[in-house]
Structure 1
Amino acid sequence: MAEDIKIALEALNKIDASIATMQESVKKGEAAQADVQKKIDELGEKQVLFSRQLLDIQQKAQKADGSEVADKSIGAQFVNSESYKRFKGVTGVRSASAVVANKAAENPVTSAQAHLTPYRVPGIVPLETRELSIEALFPKLPTSAQSIEYLREKTFTNGAATVAEAAKKPSSAFEFELMQTPVQVIAHWTKITRQLADDAPALQAFINARMIYGVNLAAEDQLLSGNGTSPNLSGIMATGNYTAQAFKLAQLGGSGATMLDLLRISFATVNAAGYRTSAVVLNPMDWAVLQGLKASDGSYLLGSPANSFSASTIWGVRVVESAAMAQGKFLAGDFARAATVYDRMQTVVDIAAQNEDDFIKNLYTIRAERRLALAVEHSTAVIGGALSVPTA
C-alpha cells in the first residue's frame, strides 16, 4: 500500500511540474496559449484521476489495519505537497483547473505576449456602390472608328397631298445636317505592391472590380451630363441634345398644379412630337418627394405606402432612379430613339510592373480604360430641365 501511495504522489508532482513548465513557456512566448491550455486541461484530468486513486488506496489501507497510514490523508497530503507549498495561503481542496487558474492570476499572460492571431474576414468591405442605370436606357452598337459621323434630318416640310388626275404632284422639302461626335477615353489607374498581388487574390479581384466600376461610373455621369467640351462626351442633357421644358402655369392646369402635372405635360409633349415616352429619370430624393404628395384628404396621390414601388411608374411611364441626375432636375422621353452609345472598346483592365520605378519598388500599376461615344440623333425625343411648377 505504501508503495502505491508513493507512486501516485510522484505522478501528481510530475503533473504539477509539467503544468508549471508549460505556463512558463507561454510567458516567454515559446508556445501558443491555446495549445498549452489544451494540454493543461488534459493533465488536469489525469491529476484528478490520480487523486481519486490515491484516496482509494488510503481508504483500503485504513480498512486493512485500522491506522491512518502515518497521517497521510488526502488533506495532509495536499498541505504537504509541492503544489500547496508553491501556492501557500490558499486553503481548501482544489481541482487541477483551480491550481492552474491561480498560477495564471499570479503571472497573467497578456494577449500581446501570447501573440493571438485575430480572425481575418475574407475579402474587403467596399464603400457604397451606386446602381448604374443610365447607359441601359440607350441602344448600344460597336464601332472601330475614332469618331461617329451621321446625317441628321434638320427640317421636314411635308408637301404630300391628294392630286387630281393628270395634275402636277406637290414636292416636299428636307434639310439635313452632318453631325460628328468623337470617341472619348475614360480611364484611371492605381498601384498595389507585388506582395499584395501575390498573397491576396481576393484583393486583386476587389481592385479589378472597383477599377471597372470606376470607369463605368464616370461613363454614366458623362452620358447624362457631359458638357461636350473635349475630352468630355456630349451627354444627353448637354445644351441642344434635349428639349428644355418651359411650360407656363396655365399649361399645367393652373394654381392647383403639382410636379405630377409637370411630368404629365412633359410626357405628352414628347408623344405629340411623334415619339413614345418610355422612361423618366429622377434623383432618388425627388422621387421620394413625388411619392409623398398627398390629396386634400391625406391620401397619397401615387398610392398606399404599403404598395411596392419596385416597378414604379408615373402616368404609366417607368421611373428610373439615379443619383447621376442632379436633385431638382428630370429627363423624360423616348431614350431608344433619342441617342445611341457607340462602344469603341469596352472596359478592360491591364496590369504591368514596368511603369516608372515599379520594378525597383516591387509595385504593380493597374489601369482600367474604356472608349465610347454618344450620338444624339433626336433631341426632340427627350424633354427635361427643372422639376418645379412655374409660378406664372
Structure 2
Amino acid sequence: MHLVVRGAYVEANMSERQKLAAAIARVKELQCVTGREYTAAELAEIDRLKSEIPTLRETVARLDRTKEAIDAIAGGVGDVEPRHGFLDLRAKSFVRELASGMLADTGVGRKALVSGGSVAPVQIVPDPVPEGRPATGLLQVIPVIGDSPARFEYLRQVERELNAAPVAAGGPKPTSALGLDKIEATLNVVAHVSEPIDVYMLQDMPTLETFVGSEMAYGVQRALEAELVNGTGTAPSLAGLLTATGVLSQAFAVDALTSTRKAITQLEDDGLIPSAFVMAPSDWEAIELARTDGGNGKLEMVDQPVDRAARRLWGVPVVTSPEVAAGRSLLLSQDSVALRVDKGLQLRVSENVGTDFETNQVRFRAELRTEVQLNRPGGVVVIEMEEVG
C-alpha cells in the first residue's frame, strides 16, 4: 500500500525517519506554491502535516535516544576477533546480535522470539584509548584473553629485583630475582535474569527487545566492574584489585593532582608504563572543577595537565566507574592486569520458566564466565584522593 502525497510517495512500511523526511519534503513543496491560493485539499494537508510532523519528530528523537543508550554500550569494532584484545560489551556487532540474533523469521512475514536466544561473542577493540578520544569504561582499559579454559594457570610476578650491571671479563654475573609464582585459577559466572516480559509487548514494540538485551548486558558489565575493583577472590567472587596482595599504595599528598602524579612516579621508578586511572565519577569531577583561591579563582585545570576532551590526566587515560568508592582511585600499568573469558557474554531468551509458557511471557538471561588475571600486583597503585582523618 502507498500513500500518495502530491509528488511524493509514502510507503506504509516506511520507517518513522523516512516518513518524517517525506513529510518535510512535502512541506518544502507547499512552500514553493506561488501565484495562487492554496486549494482546500492543500490546506487540509497543511493542517495534517502540522500535527503529524511534531509527532514524527518526537518518535524519531525517542528512537535516537534509544540508539544513544545502546551506543553508550557500543564501540566501533570490526567483525574479526583475535584471541586477545579488550572486552567491549558495547560493541556495534554485539548490538547487531541483540537486534537480529534473538529473532528468527517465522516464514509468515514477521519475526518471533526463539527460545534458544543468541550468543554474543566477546568483542575486541584493537586500540581501546585512541589519542583525542576518551575511554568510556573500565573494560576498555583491561586486556582480555579469550577462549580461556574453565581452569587455567598463569605466572604472577610477586618480586622484581633487576641487578644487571657491567661485568669484567671472566667475572661472575649478578643475579636478578624475578619472583614468579604459578597461580591456578577458575572462571566464575557473572549473571542475572530479567523479570517476565509479555511476548506481545515485545512483538508490538520492535525496539523493546534490543533495549532489554542491552540493559541486561550493561547489568553484567556493572557487576563485572564491581568484581574487578572490589572482588574478594573467594569463589564465586572474582579477584579484585583493591583486595589483592602486593599492590602498591600512594598516600594522599597535598591534593588529588599531586597524589596521582606521585602514583605515576611509583610505576615509572620500576620501569612500568601507566595505562589508566580508574576513579569514582565524583573524584574526576573534583579534579576537573578544582579552583585556586579557595574556590574563587580560575579553574586550575586551565593551567594543569588535565585534558577534558580526551579525558586524560598527566597524559594517562582516565576512566570512571561508580564501583570505585569516592576518595580512592586506581592506577594501572600496561600488562599488569588482564581479564580471562571463555566464549564471551551469552544472552538468551526463554519461556521455559515456571508458568511463563502458559502466560505468554519470556525472560532474558545474560551471563559471562570470567576471572581477573593479576600478572603483576606491583603494577597497580591504590591512590588516596583525600586526606584520611
Which TM-score band applies after superposition, normalised by the shorter structure?
0.5 to 0.7
**Secondary structure of the equivalent of 1:210?**
helix
**Secondary structure of the equivalent of 1:361?**
coil
Kept in 2: contact 1:345–1:372 (CA 8 A): no
C-alpha deviation, 1:145, in angstroms = 0.7
* TM-score, L = length of structure 2: 0.59
Which one-letter code corresponds to 1:181 in the other structure?
A
Q: Does 1:193 align with 2:204?
A: no
C-alpha deviation, 1:161, in angstroms = 4.1
**Secondary structure of the equivalent of 1:188?**
strand
How far apart are the structure 1 equivalents of 2:291 and 2:315? Answer: 19
How far apart are the structure 2 equivalents of 1:207 and 1:312? Answer: 30
**Secondary structure of the equivalent of 1:265?**
helix
- Find the partner of 2:282 among 282, 285, 288: 285
The structure that has the greater radius of gyration is 1
**Secondary structure of the equivalent of 1:201?**
coil
Residue matched to 1:214: 219
Counterparts of 1:291-306 in structure 2 under 5 Å?
291-296=288-293, 298-303=297-302
C-alpha deviation, 1:169, in angstroms = 4.4
Q: 1:269 to 1:354 in 2, by over 3 A?
A: same
How far apart are the structure 1 equivalents of 2:243 and 2:147? Answer: 23
Which deviates further from its counterpart, 123-132 or 189-198?
123-132
Q: 1:152 to 1:281 in 2, by over 3 A?
A: closer
How far apart are the structure 2 equivalents of 1:128 and 1:194? Answer: 23
* TM-score, L = length of structure 1: 0.59
Counterparts of 1:89-128 in structure 2 under 5 Å?
none
How far apart are the structure 2 equivalents of 1:163 and 1:273? Answer: 23
Q: 1:356 to 1:241 in 2, by over 3 A?
A: farther
Kept in 2: contact 1:262–1:389 (CA 8 A): no
Q: 1:197 to 1:237 in 2, by over 3 A?
A: same
How far apart are the structure 2 equivalents of 1:308 and 1:315? Answer: 8
Q: Does 1:352 align with 2:350?
A: yes
How far apart are the structure 2 equivalents of 1:317 and 1:154? Answer: 25
Q: 1:344 to 1:304 in 2, by over 3 A?
A: same
Aligned residues: 264
How far apart are the structure 1 equivalents of 2:270 and 2:176? Answer: 19
Residue matched to 1:320: 319
Q: Which has the higher helix share?
A: 1
Residue matched to 2:27: none
Kept in 2: contact 1:329–1:386 (CA 8 A): yes
How far apart are the structure 2 equivalents of 1:159 and 1:383? Answer: 24
* CA distances 1:317-376 after superposition (whole Å, capped 9, x unpaired): 332233232111111131x32211112131121122222222222222221111111100
Q: Which consecutive unaligned segments of at least 5 residues does structure 2 have? A: 1-54, 74-135
Kept in 2: contact 1:241–1:376 (CA 8 A): no
How far apart are the structure 1 equivalents of 2:300 and 2:386? Answer: 17
Residue matched to 1:179: 183
Kept in 2: contact 1:267–1:333 (CA 8 A): no
**Secondary structure of the equivalent of 2:301?**
coil
Kept in 1: contact 2:281–2:321 (CA 8 A): yes
How far apart are the structure 2 equivalents of 1:170 and 1:121? Answer: 72
How far apart are the structure 2 equivalents of 1:331 and 1:372? Answer: 21
* CA distances 1:206-231 after superposition (whole Å, capped 9, x unpaired): 21221122112211222222222211
Q: 1:382 to 1:366 in 2, by over 3 A?
A: same
Q: 1:172 to 1:320 in 2, by over 3 A?
A: closer
Q: Does 1:136 align with 2:134?
A: no
Residue matched to 2:232: 227
Residue matched to 2:149: 145
Kept in 1: contact 2:250–2:259 (CA 8 A): no
Residue matched to 2:209: 204
Q: Which consecutive unaligned segments of at least 5 residues does structure 1 have? A: 1-117
Which one-letter code corresponds to 1:177 in the other structure?
D
RMSD: 3.3
Kept in 1: contact 2:163–2:174 (CA 8 A): yes
- Find the partner of 1:366 among 350, 356, 364: 364
Q: Does 1:331 align with 2:333?
A: no
